[in-house]
Amino acid sequence: MAESTQPGTPATTPTSWGWCAWHQSYARGVRLIRAIEQGSGPGASLFACGPCRKTHNLTPLADLPL
Ligand SMILES: [Zn+2]
């Protein structure tokens, strides 16, 4: 009987599974992006995956300076 000191599966993963509004499909690691201008409406919050954020030069809402 050997004791293993494996830390096990990490419980917290930074990736999230959701709908990417840019390539219109579910993707892993989506981040909240606010893409709709709020000039004449309530605005909308959309999610984008990593590749789409690079392609469209999107900045996650959480990373924007307030
Ligand atoms: Zn995407």
| All structural domains of the chain with their residue ranges | 17-58
The DSSP secondary structure of 35-64, one letter per residue, reads -S--SSS---EEEE-HHHHHHTT---GGGS
- pTM attached to this predicted model: 0.62
Instruction: Give the up-direction half-sphere exposure of residue 16: CA atoms within 13 A in the CB hemisphere.
Output: 8
Summarize pLDDT for 25-57 with one digit per residue, the tens.
999 999 998 756 556 666 677 899 999 999 999
The Å distance, Cα 33 to ligand 1 centre, comes to 11
- Read off the pLDDT band of 61 (50, 70, 90): confident
Summarize pLDDT for 10-32 with one digit per residue, the tens.
555 556 899 999 999 999 999 99
Residues with CB under 5 A from ligand 1 (ion): 20, 22-23, 49, 52
The Å distance, Cα 61 to ligand 1 centre, comes to 16
pLDDT of the residue at 26: 96
The Å distance, Cα 31 to ligand 1 centre, comes to 10
